[in-house]
Amino acid sequence: MNAPHAFVWALASLAFLSGLCAHFSKSLNASLSILNKLYLYNIMVVLTMVGKNNGETVYFEEPLPKVHFIRLISCSLYNSWHNLERVGQISFKNSGQVLASLPQGYYIVESLAKELTESFKNEAKIAVETNKPNSVLKIIRRDPDIQQISVRYALARLLGIGVTLNDISYVKKLNSPSTYFIHCDLLDKTKNFLNGKRSDVLVMFDIQGLPYAKVSYDSTPQQVLRDCSTDAHVNSITVSIKDEHGELFDFKGMPLGFELEIN
């Protein structure tokens, strides 16, 4: 190749490389611009809520932009609600003599058995047994000839027995809520279902732990983001804890805490 041809070839190569660099530069700038827009319009917010009233609405100091997805990161509460809403009494039907009196409160099988055993310690004709093959709790009238024994409705309902004590009363399980359902008013009910019905349930988890114990729930990385349905701006949010019948738990003023991821 002679000198003039080499010179022309070099100029052409430089022009090609210059155009190629300009093309990649424009593509890179366009990509960065798109990423910046995505970053600006898909902002992740972590919201922490602390209160004492279940189902309380929190109002934002400044409205949030439209919320597309939400996820519960963590939750904390106390087993301070009452599954025995009224004083539970067991008494002789005719004389009215009180054999056992249980205060209002949250009971599990162990604490209920302890209360009943303590109440019946001076009444040899009635016994309480736990963890039997056919039941978690068994109440026995050792003398069938003693007068009938009445159980107040609130306690009978919790035990799942009749209001008159049989010779042997089997308690299969306590008639008490077993699951906490966390509801959120931002959820899109057309895209969230519970047992085939539209729902605003964000998370559900089993009720565990001793009465008045602190309970914590922490999500897993697999926890899904729930679809939301909101206006262009969101001014408030309501998070509540209910039982399987949709009734609010009354935590008796004990602290509640929620940590939410909002996108």
Residues 106 and 130 occupy one common structural domain: yes
Residues 75 and 195 occupy one common structural domain: yes
Separation of CA 71 from chain center: 12
Full-model pTM = 0.78
3-class SS shares of the chain: helix, strand, coil, % to 5: 20, 40, 40
Q: Kindly calculate the radius of gyration of the chain based on its CA atoms and give it in whole angstroms.
A: 32
CATH number of the domain residue 227 falls in: 2.60.120.1100
Q: Mean of the pLDDT values across residues 192-208?
A: 95
Consecutive H or E run containing 99: strand 98-102
Q: For residue 102, what are the CA distances in angstroms to 61, 85, 89, 117, 254?
A: 46, 11, 6, 11, 22
pLDDT in tens, 209-238: 999 999 999 998 888 899 999 988 999 999
Task: Give how many domains the chain has, as a whole number.
Answer: 3
Predicted local confidence at residue 146, as pLDDT: 77
Residues 140 and 214 occupy one common structural domain: no
Residues 52 and 15 occupy one common structural domain: no
Please give the residue range of the domain that contains residue 200: 44-81+177-262
**Residue 153's beta-bridge partner residues?**
none
Residues 73 and 190 occupy one common structural domain: yes
**Which of 140, 171, 202 is the last residue before a domain boundary?**
171
Residues 95 and 164 occupy one common structural domain: yes
40's tokens: 């600006």
Q: Are 139 and 167 in contact (CB under 8 A)?
A: no
Predicted local confidence at residue 10, as pLDDT: 44
pLDDT in tens, 56-112: 999 999 999 899 999 999 999 999 999 999 999 999 888 888 999 999 999 999 899
Q: Are 138 and 169 in contact (CB under 8 A)?
A: yes
Q: Are 241 and 77 in contact (CB under 8 A)?
A: yes
Report whether pLDDT(262) > 90.
Answer: yes
**Which of 144, 171, 198 is the last residue before a domain boundary?**
171
